[in-house]
């Protein structure tokens, strides 16, 4: 695992190289996705069934064989063992409670002239949630995508999840049941994204599509952006741990593992002012690694993109964290609140030694869909606000039209837009 | 101008055809933009100066010749006549006041176990505002893009505006002065977008780029999206007027003109239950058109994409408005408040006969950067919230770690993520 120190002369360049990640779009993928999207747009269900049978090795005769009702989601829920059902319900309740605080409210005010100005907040009518199939099918992602939409008051939530070889994941379907998903289609890939964006005979057209997927899904989302809304196209997952050297090193090693086990390009970085402590974490890594079922992935990830970085002090660690703008930031220090005001850029901050990232991933309450690849400089976690939108309200009074009309007239003439000026002037008293 | 009635058997298809607008991306533009962006990324100022001299017919020796300080903006401001300065200041004050209501605040709460959950709101560090040059240089757009960033508390606002042939627009520079823009570079096109996204020796790298531009600017913004944030890529401007037939028909005709005068692909549509009134508006259009300086553009726009539509009643008009999800919606009726609860999708609603769209464009207060092409189904006006972002906060207590650890462990094992489970389990009391 790479060892760096902020005192190295070339530290800034080495840090930049460590973080570099090219998300170049593949023209071959783009072309394949364009063809699939156009075909689904033109032929609807027929194309969707064909692509699904081909790519997912299913043998559906029609969309009826690729559609799950609420009853079937409920049946999957009841097939789970009681402790799993309870964990799912407990996580959902906490996520729901947190997200309810994010609800935006409409507001308005009248100015001195009786002119009303405001902002009306409404929920989206219908959204689509993409859930990856196979090994990366995560029930927690179903909760994290569907619950904010539900809390926002979205009218209908449509989920798509591919079932390669026809294999359904009860945990995923149960999560959809708990989260209040209205309908599930067992389709995936670019064809599923196109069906949601354009609508087919069976799949209703949605207003926004959220959720992670492979390169084809990402390319399809970029392609339909504008026809529908999309969430961010996510990069590899990342954790940055700032530790004062007083946390059990096994805990920190395992926190780094829990990021690294996602995939070979995930990134796990530790910042610490103590070289001794860094050595202890390294020893914990060596000790704990052999017992990990996903050892090969963890090793590749830590080897490719991980780093243990010695810093001068915690203040410098925070400055570096602001530059990195990590998806997950663990503040494993004695007084985490002290450092908070100086931390500007991160998707989520996990404060104090007890707050492992994995608690936030599943059940603390906040969303686990977070900005990656330094986009926390300008982007936010997925939230209720992604499923609500605003409409400006203006109701100008007679008196207001006199005052505003004068201003608008001057500025519109300044821009050479005479009709704009005249529309304002017509409302002026003669 | 096209006349339709909602009672026509094929009305739904005809409405769909009327609204259809393809924003296909041009592969030749994309290729040219890619080359320019890569060159500016690689060669910085040198490339930026070269492209600017070539495309904007300037002869700058270095970026010093393409840079304006706050002092130069102030000088432009003082060159304006007093009434224009006052109109600019009055508009800015109203826009500022409205946008201050949009400021998001941080919040947090502790649950029963003393676990803290919250959301920290911070402003972006630095943003770039693209302002088109030449004829489409609108000072009002400078206010509408820069003021929300300023209100949000953005640290530094960089504006780029091309000056074809070296010609500077005092009104635009004065607006930048009033809005609190920190620095202006007189560059434009894809090269300006690339400079803001990647940074050069002279142009500081920003975190987000907003503002309208031509096809090259739009393609460049799509390309750098992810490296920086961007606002929506805007389509042609649109107005939908719902009138009860009691407004002066000249007012409505002029409101339609004020949309149509933007360009030949702008869209202006009237919905009204009275065929007689529609005929009166048509007469006003014919009467007023010859006096319009931008008559040719208005005629082309109304001819290409305008429509006068007779509806059964105002309730049906509102249902059609929700389908259209227009950028601007004028409710030119006696009791606009009555209809508001049923209107879900619009960028901005202009309520009552005195509220011409042009008052909102310049000085009512709300932003004039609004979602176009039916994207109001899922998107919002530009606002302060586009220049703030959220970071989730989690501080799990010792007691909280016991409860949350059990839930996370069950769900992580269910997903086959052992390190996630172990990180939670390590925090459980022995």
Q: Residue A9 has which token pair? A: 């002369």
Q: Are B183 and B159 in contact (CB under 8 A)?
A: yes
Nearest residue in B to A423, CA atom:
B254
pLDDT of residue A27: 79
Q: Are A258 and A241 in contact (CB under 8 A)?
A: no
* Total domains present in chain B: 3
Quick check: A395 and B355 CB within 8 A?
yes
Could you tell me if A12 and A37 lie in one domain?
A: no
Could you tell me if A279 and A207 lie in one domain?
A: no
Q: Is residue B94 a part of any domain in this protein?
A: yes
pLDDT of residue A214: 87
Structural domain range at position A420: 396-426
Binning pLDDT at 50, 70 and 90, where does residue B215 land? confident
Could you tell me if B86 and B158 lie in one domain?
A: yes
A420 has binding-site annotation:
yes
Q: Is residue A148 a part of any domain in this protein?
A: yes
Residue numbers in B near A395 (CB within 8 A):
336-337, 350-352, 355
Look at residues A364, A383, A405 and tell me which one is the last residue of a structural domain: A364
Q: Is residue A301 a part of any domain in this protein?
A: yes
> Residue-wise over B60-76: b if at least 16 C-beta within 10 A, else e?
beebeebbbeeeebeeb
pLDDT of residue A24: 62
Q: Is residue A360 a part of any domain in this protein?
A: yes
Among residues B379, B336, B396, the alpha carbon closest in space to that of A226 is found at B379
Could you tell me if B73 and B175 lie in one domain?
A: yes
CB atoms inside a 10 Å sphere around CB B197: 26
Look at residues A313, A346, A364 and tell me which one is the last residue of a structural domain: A364
Q: Which residues 171-210 in chain B show a CB within 8 A of chain A? A: 171, 207-208
Q: What is the pairing mode between strands A107-110 and A116-123?
A: antiparallel
Q: Is residue A117 a part of any domain in this protein?
A: no
pLDDT of residue A23: 63
**CA dihedral sign, ordered B364, B367, B368, B373:** negative
Q: Are A334 and A246 in contact (CB under 8 A)?
A: yes
Tell me if chain B has a CB within 8 Å of the CB of A349.
Answer: yes
| Active-site residue, selected from the candidate residues B327, B330, B357, B368 | B327
Quick check: B394 and A420 CB within 8 A?
no
Q: Give how far Cα A221 sits from Cα of A122, A195, A279, B139, Å.
A: 24, 11, 44, 35
Q: Give how far Cα B105 sits from Cα of A11, A101, A368, B99, Å.
A: 36, 12, 21, 14
> What residues contact residue B290 under an 8 Å CB cut-off, 6+ apart?
none
Tell me if chain B has a CB within 8 Å of the CB of A5.
Answer: no
Residue numbers in B near A421 (CB within 8 A):
358
Question: Annotated binding site of B for Zn(2+), which residues?
Answer: 259, 262, 361, 420
Q: SS3 of B310, please?
A: strand
Residue numbers in B near A376 (CB within 8 A):
389, 391
Could you tell me if A148 and A175 lie in one domain?
A: yes
Mutate to test the interface with A, among B228, B392, B413, B426 (most CBs of A within 10 A): B392
Q: Is residue A7 a part of any domain in this protein?
A: yes
pLDDT of residue A233: 76
Mean pLDDT across chain B: 95
> What residues contact residue A257 under an 8 Å CB cut-off, 6+ apart?
A268, A285, A288, A289, A292, A298, B419, B422, B423
Residue numbers in B near A125 (CB within 8 A):
344, 377
pLDDT of residue B54: 96
State the complex-level ipTM. Answer: 0.95
Tell me if chain B has a CB within 8 Å of the CB of A78.
Answer: no
Could you tell me if A202 and A339 lie in one domain?
A: no
Q: Residue B163 has which token pair? A: 């000056």
Binning pLDDT at 50, 70 and 90, where does residue B135 land? low
Could you tell me if B200 and B273 lie in one domain?
A: no
Quick check: A229 and B115 CB within 8 A?
no
Could you tell me if B252 and B353 lie in one domain?
A: yes
pLDDT beneath 50: ranges in chain A: none
Quick check: A358 and B408 CB within 8 A?
yes
List, for residues A196-250, the tens digit of each pLDDT value: 999 999 999 999 999 988 889 988 998 898 899 999 877 889 999 999 999 999 9
pLDDT of residue B82: 97
pLDDT of residue B23: 63
Nearest residue in B to A247, CA atom:
B427
Quick check: B391 and A348 CB within 8 A?
yes
Residue numbers in A near B260 (CB within 8 A):
419
Gap between the terminal Cα atoms of chain A: 79
Polymer length in residues for chain A: 430
Could you tell me if B178 and B290 lie in one domain?
A: no
List, for residues B10-63, the tens digit of each pLDDT value: 999 999 999 988 666 677 888 999 999 999 999 999 999 999 999 999 999 999
Q: Is residue A118 a part of any domain in this protein?
A: no
Query: Can you tell me the mean pLDDT for B369-397?
Result: 97
What span, in angstroms and rounded, lies between the C-alpha atoms of B90 and A394? 17
Tell me which residue in B87, B379, B415 faces A138 most closely, judged by beta carbons. B415
Look at residues B324, B340, B364 and tell me which one is the last residue of a structural domain: B364
B327 an active-site residue?
yes
Could you tell me if A214 and A197 lie in one domain?
A: yes
Could you tell me if A217 and A353 lie in one domain?
A: no
Residue numbers in B near A175 (CB within 8 A):
none
Give one DSSP letter per residue of A75-119, joined into a string.
HHHHHS-HHHHHHHHHHHHHHHHHHHTT----EEEE-TTS-EEEE
A237 has binding-site annotation:
yes
The CATH number of the domain holding residue A267 is 3.40.50.1980
Q: Is residue B391 a part of any domain in this protein?
A: no
Nearest residue in A to B249, CA atom:
A426
Unique residue bearing structure tokens 């202890």: A280
pLDDT of residue B222: 85
pLDDT of residue B412: 95
What span, in angstroms and rounded, lies between the C-alpha atoms of A187 and A200? 13
Bridge partner list, A268: A239
pLDDT of residue B232: 80
Could you tell me if B174 and B144 lie in one domain?
A: yes
């Amino acid at each position: 695992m790479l060892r760096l120190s902020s005192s190295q002369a070339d530290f800034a360049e080495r840090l930049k190289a460590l973080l570099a990640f090219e998300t170049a779009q593949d023209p071959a993928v783009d072309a394949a996705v364009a063809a699939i999207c156009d075909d689904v747009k033109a032929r609807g269900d027929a194309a969707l069934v064909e692509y699904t049978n081909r790519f997912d090795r299913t043998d559906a005769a029609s969309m009826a064989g690729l559609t799950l009702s609420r009853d079937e989601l409920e049946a999957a829920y009841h097939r789970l063992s009681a402790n799993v059902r309870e964990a799912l319900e407990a996580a959902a309740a906490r996520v729901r409670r947190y997200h309810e605080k994010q609800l935006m409210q409409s507001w308005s005010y009248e100015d001195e002239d009786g002119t009303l100005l405001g902002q009306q907040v409404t929920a989206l009518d219908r959204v689509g949630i993409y859930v990856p199939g196979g090994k990366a099918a995560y029930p927690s992602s179903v909760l994290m995508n569907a619950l904010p939409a539900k809390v926002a008051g979205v009218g209908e939530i449509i989920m798509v999840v591919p079932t390669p070889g026809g294999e359904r994941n009860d945990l995923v379907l149960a999560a959809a049941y708990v989260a209040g998903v209205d309908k599930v289609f067992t389709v995936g890939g670019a064809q599923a994204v196109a069906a949601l964006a354009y609508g087919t005979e069976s799949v209703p057209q949605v207003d926004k599509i959220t959720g992670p997927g492979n390169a084809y899904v990402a390319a399809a989302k970029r392609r339909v952006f504008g026809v529908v809304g999309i969430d961010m196209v996510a990069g590899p997952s990342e954790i940055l741990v700032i530790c004062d050297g007083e946390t059990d090193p096994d805990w920190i090693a395992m926190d780094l593992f829990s990021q690294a086990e996602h995939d070979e390009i995930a990134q796990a970085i530790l910042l610490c002012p103590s070289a001794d402590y860094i050595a202890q974490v390294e020893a914990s890594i060596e000790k704990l690694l052999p017992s990990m079922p996903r050892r090969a992935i963890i090793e590749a990830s830590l080897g490719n993109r991980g780093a243990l970085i010695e810093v001068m002090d915690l203040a410098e660690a925070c400055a570096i964290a602001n530059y990195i703008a990590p998806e997950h930031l663990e503040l494993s220090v004695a007084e985490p609140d002290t450092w908070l005001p100086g931390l500007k850029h991160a998707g989520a901050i996990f404060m104090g030694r007890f707050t492992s990232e994995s608690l936030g991933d599943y059940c603390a309450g906040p969303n686990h869909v977070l900005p990656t690849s330094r986009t926390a400089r300008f982007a936010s976690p997925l939230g209720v606000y992604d499923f609500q939108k605003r409409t400006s309200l203006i109701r100008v009074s007679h008196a207001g039209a006199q005052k505003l009309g004068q201003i608008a007239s001057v500025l519109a003439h300044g821009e050479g837009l005479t009709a704009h000026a005249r529309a304002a002037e017509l409302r002026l008293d003669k």
